[in-house]
Amino acid sequence: MRLDELDGLARRNHGVVSREMSGLSASAWGRAIRAGTLVPVHPTVARFVGSPDTPEQRIIAAVLSAGPGVLASHRSATHLWGVARPSSDPVDIIIPDRRPVRLLEGVVIHRPRDHAHLSPPQRRSKIACTNILRTLCDLGAVDEIGVVDAVGHALAARFVSLSALEAALVVHARPGRHGVRALRHAIGVWSIDGRPIDSLLERAMRRLARDFKLPAVEFHPVIEGWEVDFRVTGTPVIIECDGWTAHGLDRDQFERDRRRDIELSAAGWIVLRCSYRAITSDAARTAARIRAAIERWTPER
């Protein structure tokens, strides 16, 4: 294989190439490494010189080194599904059979007895990984705290529904299955009133205000006797986060929210309602709505 062909192959795989993919003989592979064209990552897997070091590169290198049928899993699959993860995470892979695999530096190898939701494999960023239901359950085995945010991301991005998550619990709940407890807790958190818990909601809104250079927001102020979700500081604009599932609000809550909106509007406040999903997954459009209200009712800001 010519150098430009090898470079093109590596570029399609996050800068990584395996000896099997390259078609190079053992001697030619060794020469490419000694020449500095390839930099070894794992046995029979190398990255092309100059390619940026990324989580995706480390993940695909481990998957390729471990062989066919191997999947990125746990923390690595969570990253591939778009959930922010610490840079210190190791690479997690699942090997579904008993084949011997040598230990890989910076890689945690999992050999689960529970094979539910392993087939068919998913591909995220061109890397074979576990599906989102399996990923969320596996994550709880290595990072219980991280499951709540991961479930929130999956729901907001519409990768899963609450009913699908509850069904996954039934499939995976068995003695000795780690991760089920953390997933059950996360489902309970996100089921309350069909909206995220306050810590997640506040974090998401403050991130939106920062990223789109909106005025600061005040969380849970009491205005006209009502506790609201947010007030845009120095403006009459109030932001209320609606439940993101239709069954999340009962009739009494619905009526209470509308009575509050009427009283606030009558007192001169501008109430904007948006869903948690709009805040996290449609941030630019949501920020534009908020900015338009600020410019209309507080032009000096």
| Domain range list for the chain | 54-192, 198-297
Residue 6 in this model has a pLDDT that exceeds 80: no
Pure H helices in 157-194: 162-172, 180-191
Sheet with 38-42, edge to edge strand ranges: 16-18, 45-48, 38-42
> What percentage of residues in the chain have a pLDDT greater than 90?
56
Give the pLDDT score at 124.
96
Q: What is the pLDDT of residue 250?
A: 54
Per-residue pLDDT at 144: 95
277 vs 135, higher pLDDT: 135
CATH number for domain 198-297, candidates 3.40.960.10, 3.10.150.10, 3.40.718.10, 3.40.50.80 = 3.40.960.10
% of the chain exceeding 70 in pLDDT:
91
Paired sense of beta strands 91-94 and 107-110, if any = parallel
pLDDT, residue 45, reads 94
Quick check: bond before 90 cis, omega within 30?
Answer: no
Query: Helices (H) and strands (E) in the chain — how many of each?
Result: 13, 14
- pLDDT digits over 212-261, tens only? 999 999 998 999 999 999 999 999 999 988 754 433 445 676 778 888 99
